[in-house]
C-alpha cells in the first residue's frame, strides 16, 4: 500500500457519488482509482469515504494477473463502507458472467495455474456450488444512485429502453457505463451518458481514472495520469467529461519522448478515437 501513497496526493473533498470503470485484474490501479474518488486511503488501502457512494461498473476479472486480489479487496472495502455509513456498489460485467459460465480463456495463465488450473477455477466460479460464483451472484446488474440532476443509472454496458423506463423518466435519467475502452472518461448524448472504461488495467498499459458526480448536478472527472513518473509526479485533472468526439478532434498525439507508458497511451488514444468517431469529426 505504501507505493500508492507516493502516486496519489491527498484528495479530501469527495462528492456524494463516484464511479469507477473496468479494473481487469489490476489491484494497484483499482485502489488508485478508488483513492481518486476520495474513498480509499492510498497508504492503508482502507475505506475513508465515510458516507459517500462509489459504484464499480463490473469487469473486475480477467486479463490482469490479480483478479481474485481485486475481488477480495472490493468485498473487504464494501464491508468497511457499510460499517462507515457509506456504500460500495459492485455491478456485474460480462467477464464476471463468462467466468460463472465456465469460460476461462481471458483468465491470466499465471493466476489460473496458481488456483490449480482451469478445472479448479471453474468449480470456484460455478454460481450454485462455487464460493466465488455464489459471492458474485450478490453483485447487481444495474443500480440507480444520486438525486435530482445527478440521478444516474449505472450499468456495465447499457440497457434496453424498456428496462431504463422502469427507473422513471428516461429524459431525466443520466447513464454511466463501462465495457468499451475510450481514451478518457468521456460523455455522449449531451453529457447524459458517461463512458467510464479507460482501459486502466496494466494489462492494457492503462492509467487509473474515476468519474466524480457532483452534488450540484455537474458531472466531474478526477483522473490520475502518469507523465514520466520517474521525474515528475502524478497529475490529477478535475473537469467535466468531454464529449468524446469533440475531444478526439482536438487530440494531437505527442511525438518522440522516452516514456513508453506515455507513448502507449498516446497510441491507444489515437486508435480509440478512430474506432468511435466518424472521419468528418476527426483531424488526426
Residue at 35 is within a domain: yes
Average pLDDT over the chain reads 81
**Residue 28 vs residues 38, 66, 232, 263, 264: alpha-carbon distances, Å:** 15, 10, 19, 21, 19
SS3 54: strand
pLDDT band at 145 (very low <50, low <70, confident <90, very high): confident
Q: Residues 27-57: pLDDT tens digits?
A: 999 998 998 888 999 889 999 999 999 999 9
Structural domain range at position 174 = 2-92+139-243
Task: For CA atoms 201, 194, 36, 255, give the dihedral sign.
Answer: positive
pLDDT at 262: 59
End-to-end CA gap in the chain: 39
Whole-model pTM? Answer: 0.84
Residue at 263 is within a domain: no
pLDDT at 134: 97
SS3 222: strand
Average pLDDT over residues 136-141: 96
Three cell numbers, residue 75: 468485498
Q: Residues 197-224: pLDDT tens digits?
A: 988 998 888 888 888 876 544 555 555 5
pLDDT band at 276 (very low <50, low <70, confident <90, very high): confident
Total structural domains within the chain: 1
Q: 2-33 burial by CB neighbour count: b if 16+ within 10 A, else e?
A: eebeebbeebeebbebbbbbbbbbbbbbbbbb
Residue at 130 is within a domain: no
Structure letter (DSSP) for residue 111: H
Residue at 258 is within a domain: no
Three cell numbers, residue 57: 461498473
CA distance linking residue 4 with residue 270, whole number of Å: 29
Residue at 189 is within a domain: yes
Residue 87: beta bridge partners?
A: 53
Residue at 172 is within a domain: yes
Strands (DSSP E) along the chain, which ranges? Answer: 17-20, 53-56, 87-90, 142-145, 152-155, 174-177, 186-188, 193-195, 209-213, 219-225, 235-239
pLDDT band at 158 (very low <50, low <70, confident <90, very high): confident
Q: 192-231 burial by CB neighbour count: b if 16+ within 10 A, else e?
A: bbbbbbbbbbbbbbbbbbbbbbbeeeebbbbbbbbeeeee
Residue at 72 is within a domain: yes
Residue at 73 is within a domain: yes
Average pLDDT over residues 119-138: 97
Average pLDDT over residues 251-273: 66
- Residue 71's domain is classified under what CATH number? 3.60.21.10
Amino acid at each position: 500500500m505504501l507505493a500508492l501513497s507516493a502516486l496519489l496526493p491527498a484528495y479530501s473533498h469527495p462528492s456524494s457519488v463516484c464511479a469507477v470503470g473496468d479494473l481487469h485484474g489490476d489491484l494497484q490501479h483499482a485502489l488508485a482509482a478508488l483513492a481518486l474518488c476520495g474513498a480509499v486511503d492510498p497508504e492503508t488501502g482502507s475505506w475513508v469515504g465515510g458516507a459517500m457512494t462509489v459504484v464499480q461498473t463490473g469487469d473486475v476479472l480477467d486479463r490482469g494477473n490479480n483478479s481474485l486480489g481485486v475481488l477480495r479487496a472490493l468485498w473487504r472495502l464494501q464491508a468497511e463502507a457499510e460499517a462507515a455509513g457509506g456504500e460500495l456498489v459492485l455491478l456485474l460485467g460480462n467477464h464476471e458472467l463468462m467466468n460463472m459460465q465456465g469460460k476461462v480463456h481471458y483468465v491470466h495463465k499465471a493466476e489460473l495455474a496458481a488456483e490449480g488450473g482451469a478445472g479448479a477455477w471453474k468449480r470456484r466460479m460455478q454460481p450454485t456450488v462455487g464460493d466465488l460464483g455464489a459471492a458474485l451472484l450478490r453483485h447487481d446488474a444495474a443500480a440507480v444512485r444520486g438525486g435530482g440532476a445527478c440521478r444516474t443509472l449505472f450499468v456495465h454496458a447499457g440497457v434496453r429502453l424498456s428496462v431504463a423506463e422502469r427507473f422513471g423518466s428516461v429524459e431525466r435519467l443520466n447513464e454511466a457505463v463501462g465495457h468499451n475502452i475510450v481514451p478518457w472518461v468521456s460523455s455522449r448524448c449531451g453529457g447524459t451518458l458517461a463512458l467510464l472504461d479507460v482501459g486502466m488495467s496494466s494489462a492494457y498499459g492503462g492509467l487509473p481514472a474515476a468519474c466524480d458526480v457532483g452534488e450540484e448536478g455537474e458531472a466531474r472527472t478526477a483522473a490520475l495520469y502518469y507523465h514520466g513518473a520517474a521525474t515528475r509526479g502524478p497529475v490529477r485533472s478535475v473537469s467535466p467529461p468531454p464529449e468524446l468526439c469533440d475531444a478526439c478532434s482536438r487530440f494531437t498525439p505527442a511525438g518522440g519522448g522516452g516514456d513508453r507508458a506515455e507513448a502507449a497511451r498516446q497510441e491507444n488514444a489515437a486508435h480509440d478515437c478512430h474506432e468511435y468517431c466518424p472521419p468528418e469529426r476527426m483531424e488526426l
